[in-house]
Every structure is written in structure tokens, then in C-alpha cells.
Copies of this chain bind each other. A is one copy, B any other.
Amino acid sequence: MAAEAGAGERILLGHGSGGRLYRDLVRDVFVAHFANPVLERLDDAAALAAPGRRIALTTDAHVVQPLVFRGGDIGRLAVAGTVNDLATAAARPVGLAAAFVIEEGFELARLHELCASMAATAVEADVPIVTGDTKVVQRGAADGLFITTTGVGEIVVDHDVSATAVRAGDELLLSGTLGDHALAVLAARGDFGFVLDVESDCAPLWGLVEAALAAGGEDVVFLRDPTRGGLATVLAELAEETGLGIDLDEEALPVSAAVRSACELLGYDPLALANEGKMVVAVRPGRAAAVLEALRGRPEGARAARIGAVTAEHPGLVALRTPFGTRRVIDMPVGELLPRIC
């Protein structure tokens, strides 16, 4: 089982060396928590079985602050974010690599907790963490802990799942509510003058995507997780890349009551807020019902909805139809009003 840190033990610069202290850290923390035969070999490169199909590769640096928030922490985020990026390529996760940059003086007990969270999320996503690296920088040269996770996956479909495959008439589904992650992180920072009952949606979504692919087959043509920049960015990019328009139905967008009222109070747009456990799925016309049913059959897709469709009208633009029958154009946010949410 995973070892525990003595009270008050902290990371030293020497833990980042290639020598004895480094090896102790790797064995007592990373190998202890992420236990699997490939990692335990401690080779500089991990060997994985030959995938029969095309492989997907994705990487994400995680710098979220604070490190722990309602519904998750940087460890859970680091695994889920990478698994979800693989899922957007219809790729089953095969192995993860984790690189840590740690500030000198970081508490060893916290590192254990965050690695335990990574390990639990990796088990949930059924993917081993097979290799890693650790660097320690002097006090003040980093903000506690950064984790970069890279994933290799095996692409399980032969058809093209990307913006290139999207055509006018395709229907757009969203697997659940918007904005939970961004607001949970802001709440954990204590940025609000009120208590916010929101939990991050941070979760690995390969199981959900696998269910959608099983139900929709070749008619699932596009998958994208609306993280930084939110749904607005995903759809603006889709419109730009396809040269088609997007019609979005405001009433159909799933948003929790807590997020809705916080957004009204603070002037945020749920469409621009980051999510870490949601997937946008485009399907061929007439296939929405079957795929929606598959999404809703899983806990992380319980609030899945059909949110709109791709159209040959207003090319390159995302139009939001309001309950009052008016339409407004949704633009990609220029910058980020909320830095370091992932």
C-alpha cells in the first residue's frame, strides 16, 4: 500500500536530483500510489503492448489554483483532463505519463493526498500511469505544484471523428450542465462574497464516450470537451473549421440553478465557463435520440441534452435562439476572465 509522510516532512531540492533522495521519492510516493508492473520497472521509458490500431497522443499542463476544490483537485483534474482529450479522438486510454514540477518546501503529506487522488481517478478511468518525472525548483520559482499529464490511447473507430466530418443537419448534444468546474474553483479561491453550492464536474469520460459510440457508431462524427473557453469556444471553432453555422437553443442548455443564479449575480456567461466533465457530441440527423439515451444511461451523462444543430445558414457563426424568439451571435471569448482554473 501507499506509504505516508511523517508530520511536517517537506520536499527538498535534493528530491529533484537524480540520486538517492529522488529515488526514495519516486518509490515512496509515485510508485506506491500508482502501483502497476510497467511503472514499477522504473525504466526511463515505459514499454506498452503494440496497439492494433492508430494511436492518439495528448498532453495537458495543470496549474489550477487552489490545488483542492469542491468536487476535485489537481490530481483528479490531471488524469480526467487527459483521458477526456483522448476520448475526443475516440481513443481508449492505454497509458498515462505524469511530470511533476514541485516547489521546494511543498508538504510531502499533500503530495501523497494528491497522488492518491490521481491514482483513484486512474483506476476509475481504467488506465495505468506508466511513467513519470519530477523536478524540484527553489522556493518562489513555482506555485506549489504543476502536473503535466500525457496520454496515449488506441483509436477504436475507423471513421473520421473530427470537425472535418461534420455536415449541415448534424445534431449537437451536450452531456450535462455548464459552468460547474469554473465556479467551483472560483468559490474555492474565496473570490465570492457568498457561499456557492457548486461542485466541479471533473471526471474521466471515456466510459461515456464509449457508450455514445456503441449507440451511434459511425453516426457519431465529432467529440469535444468544453474546457477553457467553454462551450462558446468549442462551437465557435467548429463553425470556423467547418465553414458552417451553428444553431443553439438557449432553453435546452443544461445549467444548474446554483450556476445560473451565480452567473446572473456576477455577470458571467455559462457558455464561456470551463467544464472538466462534459462532452459535446455531434451526430448525424435522426440519431440524437439513440445517442442521448446512451449518454443518459450513465451517471455522468444524466443531464445530457440536445442543444442545437449544424446549419448551412449563417456560415461561420454560432447563433443562440432565446426563449423570446430572438437570436444573438455567440463569439469566442477573447481572453480568460478566470485564469488557472485547470
Q: What residues of B have a CB within 8 angstroms of the CB of A340 in the complex?
A: 16, 135, 137-138
| Chain B positions within 8 Å of A89 at CB level | 43-45, 47
Instruction: Report whether B63 and A137 are in contact in the complex, using a CB–CB cutoff of 8 Å.
Output: yes
CB distance from A24 to the nearest CB of B (A): 10
Interface centre among A55, A137, A224 (most CB of B within 10 A): A55
Main secondary structure of the interface of A (DSSP, over half): mixed
Is A141 on the interface with B (CB-CB < 8 A)?
yes
A143 at interface by CB-CB < 8 Å: yes
Partner of A54, one of B49, B88, B132, B137: B49
By a CB distance below 8 angstroms, the chain B residues around A91 are 45
**A97–B98 Cα gap in the complex (Å)?**
13
In the complex, besides A43-B88, A63-B141, A137-B339, 11 extra interface pairs with C-beta distance below 8 angstroms are: A14-B335, A18-B230, A18-B274, A23-B332, A43-B89, A44-B88, A44-B224, A60-B133, A62-B135, A141-B142, A148-B148
Contact partners of A101 in chain B: CB under 8 A = 61, 63, 101, 146, 148
| Contact for A228 among B17, B153, B224, B229, CB less than 8 A | B17
A interface, CB within 8 angstroms of B: 12-23, 41, 43-63, 65, 85-86, 88-89, 91, 95, 97-101, 130-138, 140-143, 146, 148, 150-153, 155, 162, 224-225, 227-230, 233, 237, 274, 332-336, 339-340, 342
Find the B residue at minimum CB distance from A142: B142
Residues of B contacting A57 in the complex (Cβ-Cβ under 8 angstroms) = 45-46, 48, 95, 97, 130-131, 150, 152
* Residues of B close to A142: CB separation below 8 A: 63, 141-143, 146
In whole angstroms, how far apart are the Cα atoms of A23 and B336 in the complex? 12
